[in-house]
Amino acid sequence: PLTALSPSLLPRESLKAAARARLRAHDVAGRFSALPLPRAAVLLPLLERGGRLCLLLTVRSLQLRRFPGEVCFPGGKSEAADKDEIETALREAKEEVGLPPEEVEVVCRLVPGIDKMNNLVTPVVGFIEDTFQATPNPDEVSDVFVVPLEYFIEPLNYTSLPYKMSPGHQGRMHCFTYDDNEHKAPFKIWGLTAHFAVFLALVIFGRRPTFEVDYDLDNLLPSAVQNFMNLYASVQEAKKSHL
């Protein structure tokens, strides 16, 4: 198991360097890219603010047909011209919040998830500068906000919902409510977005969260891969039974 990373004790560069090393140890690269599912990718933008690592999140425009008003990471479906998930995530982040791809230091790809539409969603982790000013595309994004990464292992407001991923496969849905001082508003972060944020925080901080998770924390990567493969098998099973 990793020793816990205490953000308060580290100067800025070593905070990033320690996070980078842990992330690279959990990089799955293109290991799952060939699975026969439609592909999508999201960017998990990390920035350092006030001596803490933070995550940038977006709120989906209310005009969108699918999941309007939900909190998510910048991202979307892969296009034929994208050479890999990294390119998809960077292209979508530029379209949605005006983040130039050259201003992202891509560190790794983490274990993917499968969304409600059965897309294989790959989380791409990258560092961005704290000075980045988002310019949300109003057709896609209504708001952008930043949450300390630690909130996803030590939240003030958290619930979990059991959900049935498929016959005989029970999962745990994380739901966080984050009160943002800047916006003077609460944001609800749940579903796949919360799932990726929790895993990212577990990788970087290497310590137990204040709530239950579906991982063996002493073998984080192997257990995350195992969970994903169980989910993938159950999705394939469900497809067969629909045929």
For residues 100 and 136, give the distance between their C-alpha atoms in angstroms, rounded to a whole number: 13
Whether residue 1 has pLDDT greater than 50: no
pLDDT tens across 132-190, in order? 999 999 999 999 999 999 999 999 999 999 887 666 667 789 999 999 999 999 999 99
Residue 243: per-residue pLDDT:
65
For residues 22 and 189, give the distance between their C-alpha atoms in angstroms, rounded to a whole number: 24
Contacts of 199 (CB under 8 A, 6+ apart): 110, 111, 123, 215, 224
Whether residue 117 has pLDDT greater than 70: yes
**Local confidence band at 67 (pLDDT 50, 70, 90 cut-offs):** confident
What b/e readout covers 53-85, taking b as 16+ CB neighbours within 10 angstroms? bbbbbbbbbeeeeeeeebbbbbbbebeeebebb
Distances (CA, A) of 117 to 38, 66, 69, 235: 9, 10, 18, 11
Whether residue 78 has pLDDT greater than 80: yes
Q: What is the mean pLDDT of residues 114-133?
A: 96
What is the CATH superfamily name and number for domain 15-241?
Answer: Nucleoside Triphosphate Pyrophosphohydrolase (3.90.79.10)
Pairing of strands 75-77, 39-49: antiparallel
Residue 8: per-residue pLDDT:
52
Residue 242: per-residue pLDDT:
72
pLDDT tens across 183-234, in order? 999 999 999 999 999 999 999 999 999 999 999 999 999 999 999 999 999 8
For residues 101 and 119, give the distance between their C-alpha atoms in angstroms, rounded to a whole number: 23
The more confident residue out of 4 and 207 is 207
pTM to 2 decimal places? 0.93
**Average pLDDT of every residue of the chain:** 92
The amino acid sitting at 53 is: L
Residue 6: per-residue pLDDT:
58
Domain ranges of the chain: 15-241
pLDDT tens across 10-65, in order? 556 688 999 999 999 999 999 999 999 999 999 999 999 999 999 999 999 878 78
**Whether the Cβ atoms of residue 23 and residue 204 lie closer than 8 Å to each other:** yes
